[in-house]
Structure 1
Amino acid sequence: MHQLPPAQPGMRESEVETPALILDLDAFEFNLDTMARMVAGVSARLRPHAKTHKSPVVANLQMRRGAIGQCVQKVAEAEVMAWGGVEDILVTNQIVDPRKLARLAALSRIAQVALCVDSPEHVSLLEAAARTAGVRMSVLVEIDVGSRRCGVPAGEEAVGLARLIAGSRHLAFAGLQAYHGAAQHLRSAVERREAIGKA
């Protein structure tokens, strides 16, 4: 049986079945177009983080405007995106549970799924999951740029992880990941620029 969406245009707020994603379409489309313009003509590529909207519909609209894929934080978010037609997904978190790694490896049969690592043990777990699933997965080495939350220092440790990944039959070294989340909470552009420059 077809299930009706929890909200439809014209509904009163009290009629909306929650949870529901409700958008001001004019503002939403303005934001989509603004982000697309910001990266047009530069070497940067846009990969929005779907942990905010959790919607493959929104993700596909972003990609129609030039985004190369989506970032997600959790395995379930990756599954929703892949099943919703998103073909390029980066898990911006270290997933270490073997069951969750098996789900990501299986998902790699229908989408390009990449994830971050910050330890040799994690590489081994991921290698085992990819081998069992019969897939080859893209892996990024996470660099700690000052958050002290995850990642390895730039230098020998990062190079060692990259070599370990590159030497794997079921993993492919896809680059580096770094996230300076604290910078988004700095008020002025000067403060943000300085913090990012140090990172």
Structure 2
Amino acid sequence: MKTTKLIGLFSAMALTPNLAGAQDAMDEHPTYAKEVSRIIQENCQGCHQPGQIGPMSFTNYEEVRPWAPLIQLKVAQKEMPPYQYDDHIGVQNLKNDWRMDQEDIDTIVAWVNAGAPFGNQEDLPPPKQFPEVGEWRLASELGEPDHVIKSSAWDVPANGQDLWWEPEVDSGITESRCIKAVETLPSKAAHGSTHHANSHLVVMDDDGEWVRGDRLSEFAFGK
């Protein structure tokens, strides 16, 4: 009995340094739960969520982990988020700057180099809330739109390069009206294939020619 107790004691003592070492290693590098999840929320989930244009969803660790090496590559090369702007020339203090902070880039690189660990469940932030697909962004402030102009239907090919579609449709407005606000919004069916959309009025100039007027509004992910 004494021998059994002694072996048990030495076994416990031998395991303790290994457990402590594992915890120390976790504290030395970023984890998904504590750091990376917040970076993904702020920089990626606008497009990478169900129903949006991103080709894969990044709403949880199980979705992000298989893509970790590619995420590391794309953010390190500053290809993602897709906002190409020279970091060394011109104005750098931008309003609504989509560029990922270098500190966040370094965090993702270090996380992937460490094996993309999950971390502790209690460190996870609450899920980020996004507008519902097809929801008018201005409705909470101005109410539902008084007049909706719908474009004609168009089928997007399953494969191919980016396409510009420029339909002209009747506004349905037959009298002078003041415009308080304009919002451009893809339909629910088109949300996953529309990167951005601009709307213009076509007006008649002094020579009686129909010409495109100034831009009314723009839809773009993240705006």
TM range (shorter): under 0.3
Q: Which structure is richer in relative contact order (CA contacts within 8 A, separation 6 or more)? A: 2
Greater helix percent: which structure?
A: 1
TM-score, normalised by the number of residues in structure 1 = 0.24
Q: Kindly name which structure, 1 or 2, has the bigger radius of gyration based on alpha carbons.
A: 2
TM-score, normalised by the number of residues in structure 2 = 0.23
